[in-house]
Structure 1
């Protein structure tokens, strides 16, 4: 019944959540040809492979969602206020004028909502008649087997939208990785072949272990930088704990130097498919592109269970608003 558009759509993980919640995709805009093809293969051919900085004539929608680049705001990056990508969040405003949504949802890292760019975006939304709420949600609270905090700026003209209620229990990484057997012939079940040095390190890291075990057991296999930074970045070269949610899946999750991305028991990093599972992506999804671009598509996305939780409360708000309109119309007719 209700349609949505998606800006900076990536591979379509947030769109998938919205679709699961009951919305119909009307358009999506994504600059990466690989990500746009992934969207097309798994969701809809309504995707436009172009920059969202340019507004297209795509008709009107009920909801506009957007996930502008977060690199300039993320604590994992330089947080450069002059990063030209920061301005892309403001490109959402001309789209609002064109597609006339009743609800707008902008997803990003939590520091974004404390930035000058967010303040400009919020002012633009208020000047267009939207009421704004900000939700800082952790994906693990909504069925994702991963710790991942994201901020959702929710702008509405249909009244306040209730914050999603967290799930009763959390899903472990082990449940995502092992409950359904992986297809050994799945092309997405891919990981880089480790070097001899990496394989030696992998073989010595115990369950739930990390670089600290290597520093203790085989310091000769460790680079000097590990000794210099001491207790910092302890998750690098770390095995995923199967009994707990995984750490945040980044674009570089197939690089052991970037986090706790080693398989719980096997001597390798997790595969692309395993990374996708930790984002709540079904195994029938096929991603377009070479391995690193695919890893970027996975790591950049909103986990599908989190997107679904957000979509459902918005869907409920539309149903409530529609019911209210029907009631008011009925009373007017009765009075007449």
Structure 2
């Protein structure tokens, strides 16, 4: 049996993919999706069908828009309001977008909801407000901070997940989901975390600087057109190195702002490691100055295809839009492998409820 899902703030549909695609477990049918990014909704439609609305969900609810019946509502209200990268978090209107999400949960008659967001949500006042609203609607809730690499994503990405369910006699779900992979630093019988080499080690050097109308994966496997100084900087960073190595090896081409800043993150202008998962892929992964996004060996930042693989998207997933729009879709996505682990918990919960109702 297929359960009906609604995906809010869906972006490209990484979470829907983890719920619906048989390669990730399946068992769910997408009946409606919403996002206010036009390119992202076109990507969603290209992969899951036309039941997607490009709109502001808060305005949709206020204007009396129709919400279809569903078993599950999933989604990630925009995370920038919670993110530590946002220095003006207090008062950010995006913090309140969980409210129309819960309105859709109520109007759809859903029996389960899943909210995914940055790790900082777990300790925020909004976490308590969400659980209070869920309780008022008759839901029990559980939450945790999940590590995407523990579930097969070749990327270390920590996310808070809130799971809510109407019990209907069902026992509490197994949450967080049981890991499928383990850090190589821990003693475990599970397979080790998937690595950068596992995800992109088979790809040759990229060609060109724009998306191409050729077969995947090479349609998105393109590079940039860096200056000679940028290439020299790339070459100065050793395996696993970062901006501090650049400053040590080639101070004459190191930006002065980095020289003046003696402390700070060690991922800036860093190289990925072959033998580890990727760092968190963000929307500007094509800019090494934004994080550890240099290829492990080649003197360049990672490509869109490499970023998509490090997020866990299959090569046959279709992305629509400009290269900047596609980068945004990739960086904002939920790793499908993480979504799949959550989907398994939801599927077991709904199957148990279904069996009790049928008894």
Structure 1 distance, partners of 2:68, 2:251, is 61
Structure 1 position 234, deviation (Å): 1.4
Q: Give the match for residue 289 of structure 2.
A: 257
Q: Does 1:166 align with 2:175?
A: no
Runs of 4+ in 1 over 4 A off after TM superposition: 179-185
Structure 2 distance, partners of 1:182, 1:218, is 25
Q: Give the match for residue 52 of structure 1.
A: 57
Q: Does 1:83 align with 2:83?
A: no
Query: Residues 17-50 of structure 1: CA distance to partner in whole angstroms, max 9, x if unpaired?
Result: 0113311101000110000000011122211111
Give the alignment partner of residue 40 of structure 2, picking from 35, 41, 57.
35
TM-score by length of 2: 0.87
Structure 1 position 315, deviation (Å): 0.5
Structure 1 distance, partners of 2:88, 2:135, is 26
Residues 209, 239 of structure 1: 8 Å contact kept: yes
Structure 1 distance, partners of 2:48, 2:56, is 19
TM-score by length of 1: 0.93
Residues 148, 337 of structure 2: 8 Å contact kept: yes
Structure 1 distance, partners of 2:73, 2:90, is 26
Q: Give the match for residue 333 of structure 1.
A: none
Aligned pairs (5 A) from 1:1-336: 1-20=2-21, 21-53=26-58, 54-55=60-61, 56-158=65-167, 159=170, 160-163=172-175, 164-167=177-180, 168-169=190-191, 170-179=193-202, 185=214, 186-326=218-358, 329=359
Structure 1 position 183, deviation (Å): 8.4
Query: Residues 211-258 of structure 1: CA distance to partner in whole angstroms, max 9, x if unpaired?
Result: 122111110111122122224221111111010011000111111111
How many residues align structurally? 327
SS in 1 for 2:220: coil
Structure 1 position 90, deviation (Å): 1.2
Residues 90, 120 of structure 1: 8 Å contact kept: no
SS in 2 for 1:278: helix
SS in 1 for 2:5: strand
Structure 1 position 182, deviation (Å): 8.4
Structure 2 distance, partners of 1:26, 1:42, is 13
Unpaired segments of 5 or more residues in structure 1? 330-336
Query: Residues 92-115 of structure 1: CA distance to partner in whole angstroms, max 9, x if unpaired?
Result: 122122111000111101211322
Unpaired segments of 5 or more residues in structure 2? 181-189, 208-213
Residues 206, 222 of structure 2: 8 Å contact kept: no
Q: Give the match for residue 187 of structure 2.
A: none
